[in-house]
Amino acid sequence: MKYLYKLPKKLKELREQYGYTQKFVAEKIGVAYQSYQAYELGVSVPSLEHFIQLADLFDVSLDELANRREI
């Protein structure tokens, strides 16, 4: 979980890069707007299923989404 502390910033950056709203992303991954908003605020972490959907939506690897670097 140590990699996920940067997830909120990464989600916001990717969402803005694609020009998506929080509501759009929430609808695409099947969560309430408030749930996705909580991901970007760092209040909660997406489930594995939603994490995978976010990586697919933003066309990035799971490692990249989690800001995980090769060791």
Where residue 11 sits, what CATH number does that domain have?
1.10.260.40
30, part of any domain: yes
How many domains does the structure of the chain reveal?
A: 1
Handedness of CA 53, 37, 44, 62 (dihedral sign): positive
Helix axes 22-29 and 48-57, enclosed angle (nearest 10): 120
Q: DSSP assignment, residue 58?
A: T
66, part of any domain: no
Question: Mind listing the pLDDT tens digit of every residue in the chain (71 residues)?
Answer: 565 788 999 999 999 999 999 999 999 999 999 999 999 999 999 999 999 999 999 999 999 998 876 54
67, part of any domain: no
Structure tokens, 44: 């909660």
22, part of any domain: yes
57, part of any domain: yes
First vs last C-alpha separation in the chain? 16
21, part of any domain: yes
What domain range is 53 assigned to?
2-61
Q: What is the pLDDT of residue 24?
A: 98
Q: What is the pLDDT of residue 71?
A: 40
